[in-house]
Structure 1
Amino acid sequence: MTMPFLDPATLHRPVYQSLADQIARAIADGHLANGIKLPPHRILAHDLGISVQTVSRAYEELIRRGLVSGETGRGSFVRRHEPAGEVPYLQERPGEVVDLSILKPVCETMHLDRMKAVLAEMAADLPASAALSFRPNVIFPGHRIVAAEWLRHCGLSVSPGNVVLTNGATAGMTVAMMSAASTGTVIATEAVGHHTLVPLASYLGLKMAGVAIDGEGMVPQALAALCRQEDVRAVFLQPSPINPSATMMGLERREALIDVARSNGLTIIENDPLGPLIEDRPPPVAALAPERTLYVTSFTKTVLPGLRTGYLVAPDRLMPAVANRHLVSHWIATPLLAEIASRWVRDGTAMELVRWQRATLKKRQAIVSSMLEGIPHAAHPQGLHVWLPLASRAEEEVFVAQARLRGVALAPGRSFQIGRDEHPAVRIAVGASNESELRAGLRIVASLFHAAPEPLLLAI
């Protein structure tokens, strides 16, 4: 057999996808080196007892993933796969696809109307510094005061001097990671975590380590054990149900993780893009351990997707590092967006839109609960998504592929896996589509589950 590590007995429908997955794993495991030529279609088809067309589709799928290059007249070759990270959402929306893959708030005409109104207002009285200055200390002193006001809605009481304005949560996360750890050291995070962390850490010369999770998030004992084994400098947490598994971390769990961080001298990075969206939530980790926590929040998941601005809160000892790293990587946040956010915080528009989003998501989650009745899943009543655990990674791949064939895009759980522990699942976003599309997509998800020859889902 030309590729003995392939197992035809484990191929399942759709066979081309299953074959592509086996070859992809072989590339990841080092069985197929960069630049090696793959067997001709007919030879591999003969070896595996499948059609030539199936092999051709598998090679096309590998080309689409960026793992293989096809060269006319020469064949197909393995190409180096850089750690760009697999995005869990559609990058395009071709045709009539119900997109339940991308995480975003529910938006209606009023959101666009609010943006048009504030832009018209700013045209009349835009501060000169917002358009003419390069200097953060000239532009942002007033914005930092407003930021401290908004952060009180998030559960934090901070000095304006401890706030850095950022171009959203991704910029805040990047600066926080650069400030919390040095090249070659480890940042711990949940085993099911933010899909950009692994490639981001790679680009920064850091290592990400996935820590075991349960129904409340990261397990403190597992974090402590990792600290005994590795040079861990920081821990990245998503204690609100923005995390893929849609869990809310309780107060005792937050305090236990803080104890581990203090015992091991760890800096905590808390990613909280939902901010005040979730009612009756425990205090942020940053409120419980302000001396060692870098807190990240933004407006894109709760107020408006295009309002790509946010805040990074740092303790006094880390402020010089945060300020310097933000300067060299971003210089300043976009003044015009910061101006919009500040106006909306001051006049109450931001909280008005948050309260609207909260009520709308409650309604959306009630639809999910009804349409997925009897199917184990995790969700929060005010959350942006649903986490639907599956029995195996193979079942996950089939589920996502079958949903896509029926016009529904779902985010595969493998996109959020950090470390070796597998948590097969699909993430179902409830905000990207309209209510009618959501119902149609959920109907297909439920039918796929009930049509499966074996139970696909594990108990949560």
Structure 2
Amino acid sequence: MTQWRPDPALIRRPAYLSLADQFARAIHDGRLRNGERLPTHRALADELGLSVQTVSRAYEELIRRDLVVGEIGRGSFVQTQRREPDPPYLPERPGEVIDLSILKPVCEPMHLERLKQGLAWLAGELPASSALSFRPNMVFPRHRAVAVEWLRACGLEVSPQNVTLTNGATGGMTVALMSVAPPGSTVAAEAIGHHTLVPLARYLGFNLEGLPIDDEGIVPEALDAACRQSSIRAVFVQPSVINPTASLMGSVRRSQLAEVARRHDIAIIENDVLGPLVEDRAPPVAHFAPERTLYVTSFSKITVPGLRIGYLAVPDRYVTAAANRHLVTNWMATPMVAEIATKWVSDGTAMELVRWQREAVRRRLAIAAEALEGIAFRAHRDGLHIWLPLPDGRAEEGFVAQARLQSVAIAPGASFRIAEGPWQPAVRISLGSTTESELRTGLGVVTRLLLADPEHLLLAI
């Protein structure tokens, strides 16, 4: 059994989270090693003067973080050899933590009411095909026709037969990657990119190569060099603000990227989940290379999180592959959710919610600019988050841990890291996941941590 013990003097409220954080730091620092047995709940509670329930909740939190494993009849053991990567977010914990780690749109009671109205409409208007059919071709032709209208608002002209409805962007991304990147192939992506790409690459069996980025995203010359040096099959890009660094790719860069892909005959997967939310942006990369771009967009981050539906638009050469892979992984998108999305696109509700969201996130960005005055960060006026590089001397993991001790959750930048090499510690902060008041409070904590003496913070840990 381990000799290390938590320090009761460092326990803050909520005690179970503070206790779990002490264990987590000891595990990360190597003071607790893989396989070491932890004290029993009762023994640790007696030792620290806490309730058994508090210790039990702390151990449950460590199990949730995949740092500890509980074995019936044997006890709790440290598990440092992780089976899954750290997600850049935490489960929602209303009242316990100001969660600025998960990327969400701004939501108010109005959004819940709109969705309730949509469900009430659906109860009276649900077509028999959406309720009773197992055949996608019986359900979705009408939805594909309406999807074309929305994709046009995103800046893309496509035919209905080139559109697949998906249960959100993640499903669309997965189908797109499966369609163009067979096991053993290589996909290029931004050095700081989508947090699910690394596990997806492992699960689907393709290699992932992170490429240099600048203020507009992926550097075309770097993609060209990578294609010359290795067998790249596709490039995954997020050109419109949803990427971690909140960069917006200009029209010239998009055209250059398309030309490199055409020169080397590789596919492009474009993740554009913010769609028309980003005002005055250049046309999608798919506009510049329609013959090779698989375009993904969705509604959950720009209308209501519960509207988990998206569109995957693919060129003719990939229509059959995408349709088959969607069938074997999802069969089809949820028809009843598709009904609401189609109605909202047709009657203007979806675009109305996008315009509302645009104004809301601009107000949130103004709050962030005021709270972080004098501190350098990256953001876009129509984006849902900010990217905050940490100054020299600030360790990313420690900074995130300090924020958590003060009941503020932020996403560590390393969660989005794809390329190896030198790393500038940073954090991603969501602007839409809380109320404006909580956002101010959370950003105030971040600001105080940034302005504090790093050595003082180290002692506080």
- Compute the TM-score of the two structures, normalised by the length of structure 2: 0.85
CA distance in 2, matches of 1:346, 1:408: 40
Query: Helix, strand or coil: the match of 1:379?
Result: coil
CA distance in 1, matches of 2:268, 2:296: 11
Q: Where does residue 28 of structure 2 map in the other structure? A: 21
CA distance in 2, matches of 1:155, 1:378: 25
C-alpha distance 205-444 of structure 1, shift in aligned 2 (>3 A)? same
CA distance in 2, matches of 1:40, 1:142: 58
Pairs aligned (count): 420
Which residue identity is paired with 2:425?
A: P
Which residue identity is paired with 1:262?
A: R
Deviates more, 1:223-232 or 1:246-255: 223-232
CA distance in 2, matches of 1:351, 1:344: 8
CA distance in 1, matches of 2:90, 2:137: 39
1:265 aligns with 2:265: yes
1:431 aligns with 2:427: no
Query: Does structure 2 retain, via aligned residues, the 8 Å contact 1:414–1:423?
Result: no
Query: Helix, strand or coil: the match of 1:103?
Result: coil
CA distance in 1, matches of 2:27, 2:209: 27
Deviates more, 1:122-131 or 1:325-334: 122-131
Query: Does structure 2 retain, via aligned residues, the 8 Å contact 1:69–1:79?
Result: no
Query: Helix, strand or coil: the match of 2:304?
Result: coil
Query: Does structure 2 retain, via aligned residues, the 8 Å contact 1:85–1:196?
Result: no
CA distance in 2, matches of 1:266, 1:175: 17
Q: Where does residue 228 of structure 1 map in the other structure? A: 228
CA distance in 2, matches of 1:310, 1:77: 40
Deviates more, 1:211-220 or 1:142-151: 211-220
Q: Where does residue 327 of structure 1 map in the other structure? A: 327
CA distance in 1, matches of 2:190, 2:249: 12
Which residue identity is paired with 1:445?
A: V
Query: Does structure 1 retain, via aligned residues, the 8 Å contact 2:92–2:99?
Result: no
CA distance in 1, matches of 2:133, 2:65: 43
Q: Where does residue 357 of structure 1 map in the other structure? A: 357
CA distance in 2, matches of 1:78, 1:96: 26
Q: Where does residue 86 of structure 2 map in the other structure? A: 86
Query: Does structure 2 retain, via aligned residues, the 8 Å contact 1:273–1:301?
Result: yes
TM-aligned CA deviation for residue 261 of structure 1:
1.1
Query: Does structure 1 retain, via aligned residues, the 8 Å contact 2:384–2:432?
Result: yes
TM-aligned CA deviation for residue 92 of structure 1:
3.7
Q: Where does residue 316 of structure 2 map in the other structure? A: 316
Deviations 1:255-292 (A, max 9, x none): 22222211221100000000100100011001111000
Which residue identity is paired with 2:435?
A: N
TM-aligned CA deviation for residue 96 of structure 1:
2.8
TM-aligned CA deviation for residue 223 of structure 1:
1.7
Which residue identity is paired with 2:85?
A: G
Query: Does structure 2 retain, via aligned residues, the 8 Å contact 1:190–1:210?
Result: yes
TM-aligned CA deviation for residue 419 of structure 1:
2.4
TM-aligned CA deviation for residue 77 of structure 1:
6.0
CA distance in 2, matches of 1:376, 1:192: 18
TM-aligned CA deviation for residue 40 of structure 1:
9.9
- Compute the TM-score of the two structures, normalised by the length of structure 1: 0.85
Deviations 1:36-59 (A, max 9, x none): 755999xxxxxxxxxx99xx9xx9
1:184 aligns with 2:184: yes
Q: Where does residue 203 of structure 1 map in the other structure? A: 203
Q: Where does residue 155 of structure 1 map in the other structure? A: 155
TM-aligned CA deviation for residue 108 of structure 1:
1.0
CA distance in 1, matches of 2:75, 2:311: 52
Deviations 1:344-371 (A, max 9, x none): 0010000000000001111111111111
For structure 1, the 5+ residue unaligned runs are 1-13, 27-31, 42-51
Query: Does structure 1 retain, via aligned residues, the 8 Å contact 2:66–2:79?
Result: no
Q: How do 1:211-290 residues align onto structure 2 when only pairs under 5 Å count?
A: 211-290=211-290
TM-aligned CA deviation for residue 224 of structure 1:
2.0
TM-aligned CA deviation for residue 64 of structure 1:
5.7
Which residue identity is paired with 2:166?
A: T
CA distance in 1, matches of 2:37, 2:234: 45
CA distance in 2, matches of 1:391, 1:319: 47
Deviations 1:360-404 (A, max 9, x none): 111111111111111000000111000001246962112111111
* CA root-mean-square deviation: 2.8
Query: Does structure 2 retain, via aligned residues, the 8 Å contact 1:37–1:75?
Result: no
C-alpha distance 294-450 of structure 1, shift in aligned 2 (>3 A)? same
CA distance in 1, matches of 2:30, 2:222: 33
Query: Does structure 1 retain, via aligned residues, the 8 Å contact 2:24–2:67?
Result: no
C-alpha distance 373-133 of structure 1, shift in aligned 2 (>3 A)? same
Query: Helix, strand or coil: the match of 2:440?
Result: helix
Deviations 1:144-170 (A, max 9, x none): 110000111100111111111111100
Q: How do 1:160-179 residues align onto structure 2 when only pairs under 5 Å count?
A: 160-179=160-179
TM-aligned CA deviation for residue 443 of structure 1:
1.0
